[in-house]
A and B are shown apart, each in its own frame.
Chain A
Amino acid sequence: MIDGKIDSKCDAWEVFHRRSEKKSVLVERGRIKSVAGEIEQGYAVRVIVKGRIGFAFSQNLEEAFERAIKIARISGEELSDFPEGGWTDVKGIYNRGFEDITGEWLKESASRLILPCTDMNVNAASGSVEVERSTTSIKNSSGFEMEKKETSCVAFLEAVCDGSSAYEYVQSRNFNVDFDSVGAKAAQLALQSRNPLKLEKTCSVVLSPLALNQLLSYTLYQALSAESLLKGRSPLKPGDFLGEITIFDDATLDSGLNSMPFDDEGCKSTRKEVIHKGELKTFISDYRSSLLLKIEAGNSHRDELTSYPSITPTNMVIEYERSSDIENNSLVVHSVIGAHTANPVSGDFSVECMNAFYNGMPAKAMLYGNIYSALKKIECLGKKTKQVDFTVSPPVRFGEGAMHIV
């Protein structure tokens, strides 16, 4: 069907198909509430007609093609062909054991989330364990035809105690999620965060990998997108200096949450040094922007099966020369609320701290500042690296004055 009838109606085509199977369990107030299963699949089709790209999603391949061809006519997005693509061997992103996960296993995992809360007399208010396995195939008229298999497991728990609340979540490609630790961490944070006092001083700020990811996702990572650069929405340009930090975008990282053999338009995965000792070296890019800027592609991602592919970081590995014990005399922040309200164009942000501590005492504070200025004032990194969504980093200490505390 693709090779015959369609070829005559468009100059190039791409079929993206994903079949994902999810299973999950929900926790409500210390009890297991439900087990759910979901099977999702469909076709996202892109075509090029007279140099213009059209996109459509449907569960019916023929309909997807027809609609994509129809809409390409009004498109101003130009491309001559889809990528020939490639494959990089990546380890640890698929575990066959996920095929045999049962409702009983999910219930047992959820019980392990809850138990530490029960032991500490803290309310395991809401939580979940979700496992997913997916098979994604991409075929295009440039001859690319490949399939990738992935698995993931996410555990989340929010604990509540005397008006104090905290959450913890851990993601993995495998079964190595320590459910007991997730429950214990949330419970301990909720207990320790009771009766916070307003912090009345200026000091350095330590962001946990979770808080760091929250902040960078809505500021720096958006500014590092090649599309932001091309459209005048990034305050950054190659050669800019952002302190002394080094950041790799590494889609090949073993067991990385966003590692993959090829991205969501078939471009082979790579490891790129985006920032070298503070100097901005390159931007993250999809295929089309990579042609315009003459940089590497490999960062095309579809949030959902129905989504248009867009530029997204993979595993942003943060490195810095100095590491040490970093928490003394600093405001140590586990997570923040309101990071998504940051201004991605200017880098300005203001967030409310959740579960923050000063020398072990619970503190409440609003943090505000500019992420690009703050990155220049990083003092050191902690020692224990963790991946949260895109960010692979230890805790990071920002020097006094890097962020304002209200």
Chain B
Amino acid sequence: MEFYDVRKVESSSLLLNLENGKIEKPRYEHSYEKGFRVLKNGFWGVFSGNVSDDEGIERAKANAVGKGEAEIVEAGEGGRYIMKVKKSPADVAVDEKVELMREIEKELKASYVVSTRIVYMENVRRLSYADCFGTEAYYEVTRSGMIVQAVGKDEVMQFYSRRMLKPAGYEIFDDGAFEMASDVRVRLGELLKARLPPSGEMNVVVNPSLCGVFVHEAFGHAVEADHVLQGATILAGRIGEKVASSDVCIYDDPTLMEFGFYPFDDEGVKAERKKIVEEGILKSYLHSRETAAKLGGLPGNARAQGVAEPIVRMSNTYMGEGDYTLDELIEEAENGIFLAGSRGGETNPASGYFQFNAQYGYIIRDGELAEPVRDVSLSGHTLSILQNIKLGNVIEFDPGFCGKAGQLVPVADGGPYALVSAKVGGAT
């Protein structure tokens, strides 16, 4: 046996839904799980289940039934991290949480709002990691947040939502929660009056949220080194090559206190910022300990939902800022479309094609914002877009959950306003 490791994850969560004035599906979860991996003859045997460590390792070893080429680098020193929050959610009475949700819900009231939903979440994840090289890591991280959503009805039905999710305690709600809800109400009113979008190839100014989704979906997944090993990314074998305009820098930084924060990854490697693209040159992929051994590079991006097998994931991924103000970008676009907010996206790293959907937009006419549009999506080819991009001068992050191989992990995506040329489509 070349290698084994043991992970123990304890997770406690509280989820509350305030739907149309009623708390529905209030839910408390507490789980404790163990995961075991064994590397033998270059082949992985894996097991998860609540058994003794010895039995877990034996069961994983029994699954290592083949021969392969996998190898692994050491994790480093490991360590211990316990997040200190200003206001522990556990110390706040559940009635206070419900009261806050009810107050925020009031901000959503309007004649056109037919349905509202506010989701409150808190979670504490405790990870213990140990491997046969003597690495030991432990962390305790608290995450808190809220999602605010409303459905409006006029001649059409529309919905709009915003979320605040952070590695933080209850103090996250001290600032911005009410503003978020009033923004949802106002924006929904605009959406109900918005027109259908144009379609075709055009100049597009995206806001930081949408720029972040592009960076995550279209580029970030393509630099995950497991995709490189699979031969399933357009960026395989292109380290050192120019893959984007010289203005483009892209980073992944799990040490930022955004939703994708972690102090150690799920292989016990201390988190650090990774420079993926610098001045348009592809500098590195994102690595697990296995992909780092095979391709060279720094591990630290192996993450797992619960005790599922750790795979290469992003954390807080963002594009660096440029020099343009938003007004300048709109003026540069001259005629086209301004798109903002994200309803999610998807990419195929092997082909480089991506698709994502904006929450709202405006026509750009003669260098100025004109009438609003709704249900707009954007698609294109990652590398073509990045060859010709102009970047704004302020970065913002948007939190979310990223799905890959059936596992969800918390992430944040960020970037500045940006001007690109892309294919736009929308409702009928």
Which residue numbers of A lie inside 8 Å of B, CB to CB? Answer: 26, 28-29, 31-40, 42, 54-60, 63, 67-68, 70-72, 74-77, 103-104, 107, 123, 125-126, 158, 160, 163-165, 231-233, 235, 306, 308, 337-346, 348, 350-352, 354, 364, 366-370, 373, 404, 406
Name the one of B200, B234, B428 contacting A370, with C-beta atoms under 8 angstroms: B428
Question: B345 contacts which of A158, A163, A306, A341 (Cβ < 8 Å)?
Answer: A341
CB of B115 within 8 A of CB of A341, answer no
| B226 neighbours in A (Cβ, 8 Å) | 28
Taking A57-B30, A235-B157, A341-B343 as known contacts, 5 extra A-B pairs with beta carbons closer than 8 A to each other, sorted by chain A number, are A34-B43, A77-B25, A123-B230, A341-B355, A368-B426
Q: Which residues of B contact A54 (CB under 8 A)?
A: 26
Among the stretches B65-73, B276-284, B392-400, the one at the interface with A is B65-73
Residues of B near A232 (CB, < 8 A) are: 20, 114-115, 151, 153
Inter-subunit contact B348/A354 (CB<8 Å): yes
Min C-beta distance of B163 to chain A, whole Å:
16
Would you call B232 and A55 a contact (CB within 8 A)?
no
A340–B356 alpha-carbon span in the complex (Å) = 9
**Beta-carbon contact of B44 and A160 below 8 Å:** no
| Partner among A55, A103, A338 whose Cβ is within 8 Å of the Cβ of B25 | A55
List of B residues within 8 angstroms of A35 by Cβ: 43-46, 63-66
Q: Flag if A341 contacts B231 (CB, 8 Å).
A: no
* Residue of B whose beta carbon sits closest to that of A342: B357
- Residue of A104, A107, A368 near B377 (CB, 8 A) is A368
Bound-state CA distance A376–B200 (Å) is 25
In the complex, are the beta carbons of B350 and A165 less than 8 A apart?
yes
Any A CB within 8 A of the CB of B229: yes
Q: Decide if B88 is an interface residue (CB 8 Å cutoff).
A: no
Q: Is B354 an interface residue (CB 8 A)?
A: yes
Asked whether, in the complex, the Cβ of B31 is within 8 Å of the Cβ of A29, the reply is no
Q: How far is the CA of A125 from the CA of B232 in the complex (A)?
A: 6
Question: A197 to B32, alpha carbons, bound, how many Å?
Answer: 51
Q: Hey, which chain A residues are within 8 Å of B68, CB to CB?
A: 31-34
The answer on a CB contact under 8 Å between A163 and B65 is no
Whole-angstrom CA separation of A39 from B48 in the bound complex: 6
- Do B21 and A76 touch (CB < 8 A)? yes
Nearest B residue to A230 via CB reads B20
CB distance from B218 to the nearest CB of A (A): 11
Contact call B46/A354, Cβ cutoff below 8 A: no
Q: How many residues of B are counted as interface, with CB atoms below 8 angstroms from the partner's CB atoms? A: 79
Residues of B within 8 A of A60 (CB): 30
Rounded to whole angstroms, the CA-CA distance of A70 and B30 in the bound complex is 14
User: B11 CB to closest chain A CB, in angstroms?
Assistant: 9
**Inter-chain contact A341/B356, CB cutoff 8 Å:** yes
- Interface contacts (Cβ under 8 Å), in number, total 244
Task: Report which residue of A76, A163, A354 has the largest number of chain B beta carbons within 10 angstroms of its beta carbon.
Answer: A76
Question: Is A58 in contact with B31, judged by CB distance below 8 angstroms?
Answer: yes
> Which residues of the partner chain B approach A164 to less than 8 Å between Cβ atoms?
350-351
Complex Cα–Cα for A332 and B425 (A): 19
Q: Is the CB of A56 within 8 A of B50?
A: no
Nearest residue, chain A, Cβ from B23: A76
Q: Assess the A36–B25 pair: CB atoms within 8 A.
A: no
Q: In whole angstroms, what is the CA distance A38 to B34 when docked?
A: 10
Contacts of A337 in B (CB 8 A): 346-348, 353-355
| B31 pairs with A75, CB closer than 8 A | no
Give min CB distance, B307 to chain A, whole Å.
9
Inter-subunit contact A345/B159 (CB<8 Å): yes
Provide the residues of chain B in CB contact with A59, threshold 8 Å. Answer: 30-32, 50
Q: Are B43 and A33 in contact (CB-based, < 8 A)?
A: yes
| Cβ-defined partner of A341 (8 Å) among B24, B44, B344 | B344
Contact yes or no, B231 A160, CB < 8 A: yes
Give the distance in Å from the alpha carbon of A126 to the alpha carbon of B230 in the complex.
6
Least CB distance, A164 to chain B, in whole angstroms: 6
Within 8 A of A (CB), among B190-237: 199-200, 226, 229-232, 234
Measured between alpha carbons, how far is A341 from B213 in the docked complex, in Å?
Answer: 12
- Quick check: B350 and A341 within 8 Å, CB to CB? no
Question: By the criterion CB–CB under 8 Å, are A71 and B157 in contact?
Answer: no
Q: Is the CB of B343 within 8 A of A63?
A: no
20 A-B pairs with CB atoms under 8 Å apart are A34-B70, A36-B47, A36-B48, A37-B49, A39-B50, A60-B30, A75-B24, A75-B26, A77-B25, A232-B151, A308-B25, A340-B346, A341-B345, A345-B151, A348-B428, A350-B379, A351-B355, A364-B353, A369-B428, A370-B427
Question: A199 → chain B, closest Cβ, in Å?
Answer: 13
**Minimum distance in angstroms from A300 CB to a CB of chain B:** 12
Inter-chain contact B22/A39, CB cutoff 8 Å: no
> Which single residue of chain A is at the shortest CB-CB distance from B305?
A304
Q: Which residues of B contact A370 (CB under 8 A)?
A: 427-428
Residue picked from A56, A104, A158, A160, most chain B C-beta under 10 Å: A160
From A58, A338, A404, B346 is in contact (CB under 8 Å) with A338
| Smallest CB gap from A106: residue in B | B65
Closest residue of A by beta carbon distance from B201 = A406
Residue in A75, A308, A342, A404 whose beta carbon sits within 8 Å of that of B23 in the complex:
A75
Q: Which chain A residues border B1 with CB–CB below 8 Å?
A: none
A70–B28 Cα distance when bound, in Å, is 10
Q: What residues on B are CB-neighbors of A306 within 8 Å?
A: 29, 31
